[in-house]
Amino acid sequence: MTFASPNETATARGGAAVWDIFPADATDTIRVFLRESLNHQIDDPVMRQTCYLSTPQLERLRDEYHIVPWRIYQNPGDAVFIPAGCAHQVLCFCSSFNDRFVI
């Protein structure tokens, strides 16, 4: 779980982050897609968390592989739960994030 704590910057912008969460059964396909896009430069691009899919890449993933992420706009005070096994990416608009792990 990730929590966006309220602060002036996030409030002024109207949000703190944009999350793309992919279905768990799409992870292997995303891995293949990233390896093809990166010319096999990274052993496991999903687990290494070094890639961010741009809008054109997301469109290609949708058109060619029929994979569409759930997009979540996180605002100050919101928490985002990521289901087990789901690949995800986040674009942070400000540094107001604190990782919280709940068991």
| pLDDT value at residue 51 | 80
| Of the ranges 2-6, 8-12, 23-27, the best mean pLDDT one | 23-27
**Interval 67-101: pLDDT, tens:** 999 999 888 788 899 999 999 999 887 654 454 43
| pLDDT value at residue 71 | 93
**Interval 13-28: pLDDT, tens:** 556 789 999 999 999 9
**Interval 29-61: pLDDT, tens:** 988 888 888 776 767 777 777 788 899 999 999
Rg of the Cα atoms in the chain: 15
Whole-prediction pTM: 0.73
| pLDDT value at residue 78 | 87
- Answer yes or no: are the C-beta atoms of 3 and 100 closer than 8 Å: yes
